[in-house]
Structure 1
Amino acid sequence: MNSPPLSDADSTACRNVLIVGASGEIGAAIAIDYAKRGARLCLWGRDPVRLLKTIEACIAAGADAVSSRLLDIEDVAAACQAIVADDAATPFDCAVFAAGLGDVKGAGQVIEAADQVARLGIVNFVAPAAMASALGEEMAMRQAGRIVLIGSAAAFHALPFAAGYAGSKAGLARFADALRIGLKPHGVSVTMVSPGFVDTAAARRVPGPKPGILSPEVAANSIVAAAEEGVVHLVVPRTFVILRLLDRMLPRAMRDRLLRALAPQER
């Protein structure tokens, strides 16, 4: 179901790896997975306590070297300047953009609040897209590199209770595909990752069933393997590939009723 590896992807293993969002649970798990492979890591995060824990875990897991940067990517201009500066100091073989926010409409709300939609748009789409563009330009000049963008299977569905989240991830998915096409002739691969439910604190706060839920460690292992192989689009678990097809095939009225029925029950 997943796209095959790119035939012209750089075959050199990722040694110098940037993880944006390393203070989050998925980003930390990806960082630790790379650490076990002996990579040199540059870890970005916005939570100093959790970022320090990730650094310590990566050192213990066998990372060749670990540097870090404390930064909130909501300041998009500063994030783009920082990524170019860090890449100039130690050129990255691979960059994983794992920072993101997940949310649903609040109790009593018809739709999400405007400020919430704006923040989700910046963190989930605008910032990672801008940073990937800035780094992609540098990688293209070297004719080598890998970019991994972490989206969500929610991007496949018009979720009325999480329009800002689903919409921002859908924008990132379309951007990733366009970026991939643009960078492929320059030796740079782009992998889009669309995970379903991952067992994080944020996911546990959302009520309702979570079919096929993955641990952060299992999700991270799949993501790192996809990056190493130059996979175009990774969807995990595979159940969400089927759900994506169903969303496309169902009559609009039936699909709309189904999506409304999926809304978490207010407490």
Structure 2
Amino acid sequence: MFRVGSAHAAVASCILITGASGELGGALARCYSRDGVRLSLWGRDLGRLAAIADACRALGAIVETRSLDIEDVAAAVAAAVEEDTAAPFDLVLLVSGLGDTRPTGEQVEPAELVARLGTVNFTAPAAMGAALAGRMASRRRGALVFIGSAAAFHALPFAAAYSGTKAGLARFADALRLNVRPYGVSVTLVSPGFIDTEAGRQTHDGRAFAMAPDLVAKRIEQAVRRKQAHLILPWPFVLLRAFDRLLPAVLRDRLLLSLTPPG
């Protein structure tokens, strides 16, 4: 479904948010909603996407929605380019992603899971980011945001696909940032720890340092305005990243293995 909102208001900025039917994507959509802002919201959950779109319209935004599975990378890139041609994006927030761990009773993550996370967490956002960054560079303006994970800093044996794909996205975002910076385009990588979502609460109650999606969205908005290269939040995960780097490899391996549930 591609729904076009009212176009009578003057457009101050045009923003694409993928994963907008999720809690963080929805929070970002609301955070950026104001008079004159045009939002293109992509999501898989049509009911949640429609509700978030209505909330954004109530805040004054002009809203379009699209239901598209980004596992079809070619279709996702084509749709993004089509929309950017019709109304050039000033800001793109690539929020879509999947989190998963090794299934109970399995010794290694299934190949199908690794392939799926590779597509959704790395290939699709990287391809979309590259396509849109090139178009922004030709316009000499624009900003891109990639939502990574603090898990990218650690070799998690029980979540090799998740931590690995987020690590790949982090390196890609940093390289792309350097590539397009001379053309007036900024790239921000966001590496959150635990976000207080409904799905997270169902699997892990009372996660330490979990942040509300609305607060995370506000911090991201501030980082984008500052053209910040990398946002890690909450602050304890900055220390955990430094600890992982400084710890001797033998001790680090023992620590990570001690966190690993039995297969």
TM-score (norm: length of structure 2): 0.92
Q: 1:209 to 1:165 in 2, by over 3 A?
A: farther
1:157-186 C-alpha deviation (Å, 9 max, x unpaired): 000111100000000000000000100011
2:48 corresponds to which of 50, 53, 61: 50
The alignment-based identity, stated in percent, is: 54
1:31 corresponds to which of 29, 32, 48: 29
1:170 is aligned to 167
1:62 is aligned to 60
Greater length-normalized contact order (CA 8 Å, ≥ 6 residues apart): 1
1:150 is aligned to 147
Find the aligned partners of 2:100 and 2:222 in 1 and give their Cα distance: 28
1:106 corresponds to which of 82, 103, 117: 103
Find the aligned partners of 1:165 and 1:27 in 2 and give their Cα distance: 19
1:218 is aligned to 215
- Deviation (angstroms), 1:90: 0.6
- Letter in structure 2 aligned against 1:50: R
Find the aligned partners of 1:170 and 1:209 in 2 and give their Cα distance: 26
Find the aligned partners of 1:155 and 1:146 in 2 and give their Cα distance: 22
Find the aligned partners of 1:124 and 1:37 in 2 and give their Cα distance: 32
Find the aligned partners of 2:32 and 2:193 in 1 and give their Cα distance: 22
Contact kept? 1:102, 1:202, Cα under 8 Å: no
- Deviation (angstroms), 1:209: 6.2
Q: 1:209 to 1:109 in 2, by over 3 A?
A: farther
1:20 is aligned to 18
Find the aligned partners of 1:55 and 1:124 in 2 and give their Cα distance: 24
- Letter in structure 2 aligned against 1:18: L
- Deviation (angstroms), 1:38: 5.4
1:6 is aligned to none
| Count of residues in correspondence between the two structures | 252
Matches within 5 A, 1:79-90: 79-90=76-87
The secondary structure found in structure 2 opposite 1:28 is: helix
- Letter in structure 2 aligned against 1:136: A
Q: 1:37 to 1:263 in 2, by over 3 A?
A: farther
- Letter in structure 2 aligned against 1:71: L
Matches within 5 A, 1:94-133: 94-133=91-130
2:3 is aligned to none
- Deviation (angstroms), 1:72: 0.6
2:182 is aligned to 185
- Deviation (angstroms), 1:16: 1.0
1:240 equivalent to 2:237? Answer: yes
Find the aligned partners of 1:205 and 1:38 in 2 and give their Cα distance: 38
Find the aligned partners of 2:93 and 2:35 in 1 and give their Cα distance: 15
1:71 corresponds to which of 48, 68, 74: 68
- Letter in structure 2 aligned against 1:66: V
1:19-59 C-alpha deviation (Å, 9 max, x unpaired): 01101111111011001475221111122111111101211
Moved more, 196-205 or 241-250: 196-205
2:192 is aligned to 195
- Letter in structure 2 aligned against 1:199: D
Structure 1: runs of 5+ lacking an equivalent? 1-13
Moved more, 178-187 or 36-45: 36-45
1:92-129 C-alpha deviation (Å, 9 max, x unpaired): 10000000000111111112111011101100000000
1:9 is aligned to none
